């Protein structure tokens, strides 16, 4: 059974309700469908994806949601694509409207960086809640690391709007480190959009090269780990 979608009026009414239930200040960043609604790229969304910078505010938001009639959902009840998101908490109300809450990282890959914070803007305040809207470039980058049903269509909508590809690439590369391989995710999504929809971007060749370097390094490290295991087993037998 398909999940219900909720329009802007409903989404922001829920934000106001939760804002009025807070007992201490919370700043959240809209990073998913609700952000795309504000950019005029979608009319409705199944859920609201929010990112917070610290544990205290995350806990306060969750408590306010529980007070406001939401209940937590165990990720093992959801599809694999939701489990892989590694959300801090997922809550839903009786209407089926869902909050996907992330603390600092999305999918343990992309971080709420200084650049993302600086590019965001205040959308509105309700009670003790401040809602900030991330840039379209950062919205694209966050959606590049998730695998939900609507993400492909959302990426295409974002790509066809006015996006600063150089800024997007810069943020992706600045987040790169050994345990975060967002170059590969971004390349995979651009490759998919190019193959399926003929989308061309000025950063494709560079992100392709960066992703290839990351994957080659990953394979080399994997081979080294396997060789060490084999060597260890051999020495034990001796």
- Asked if pLDDT for residue 24 goes beyond 60, the answer is yes
Each residue's pLDDT tens digit, 70-112: 999 876 555 555 545 557 899 999 999 999 999 999 877 889 9
Alpha helix (H) ranges present in the chain? 8-21, 33-38, 55-67, 80-83, 114-119, 136-143, 151-160, 165-174, 182-197, 204-237
CA distances from 173 to 53, 86, 176, 223 (A): 21, 22, 5, 25
Which whole number is the average pLDDT over 23-41? 96
- For the ranges 68-72, 94-98, 126-130, 229-233, which has the lowest average pLDDT? 229-233
Domain spans in the chain, listed from the N-terminal domain onward: 1-147, 164-238
The confidence score (pLDDT) of residue 172 equals 93
Distance CA 59, CA 66 (A): 11
Instruction: Tell me which fold the domain 1-147 belongs to.
Output: Beta Polymerase; domain 2 (3.30.460)
Query: CB-based contacts of 174: which residues, under 8 Å, 6+ apart?
Result: 113, 115
Tell me phi and psi for residue 193, to 5 degrees: -65, -35
């Amino acid at each position: 059974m398909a999940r219900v979608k909720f329009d802007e009026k409903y989404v922001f009414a829920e934000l106001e309700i939760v804002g009025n239930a807070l007992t201490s200040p919370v700043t959240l960043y809209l990073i998913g469908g609700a952000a795309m609604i504000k950019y005029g790229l979608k009319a409705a969304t199944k859920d609201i994806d929010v990112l917070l910078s610290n544990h205290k505010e995350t806990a306060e938001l969750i408590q306010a949601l529980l007070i406001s009639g939401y209940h937590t959902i165990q990720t093992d009840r959801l599809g694999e694509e939701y489990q892989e998101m590694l959300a801090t908490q997922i809550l839903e109300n009786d209407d089926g409207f869902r909050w996907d809450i992330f603390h600092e990282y999305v999918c343990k890959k992309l971080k709420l960086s200084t650049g993302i914070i600086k590019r965001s803007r205040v959308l509105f305040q309700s009670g003790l809640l401040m809602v900030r809207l991330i840039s379209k470039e950062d919205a694209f980058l966050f959606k590049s690391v998730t695998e939900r049903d609507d993400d492909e269509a959302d990426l295409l909508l974002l790509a066809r709007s006015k996006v600063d590809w150089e800024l997007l690439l810069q943020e992706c590369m600045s987040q790169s480190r050994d345990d975060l391989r967002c170059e590969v995710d971004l390349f995979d999504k651009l490759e998919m959009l190019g193959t399926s929809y003929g989308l061309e971007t000025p950063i494709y060749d560079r992100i392709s090269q960066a992703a290839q370097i990351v994957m080659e390094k990953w394979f080399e490290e994997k081979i080294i780990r396997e060789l060490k295991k084999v060597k260890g087993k051999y020495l034990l037998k001796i």
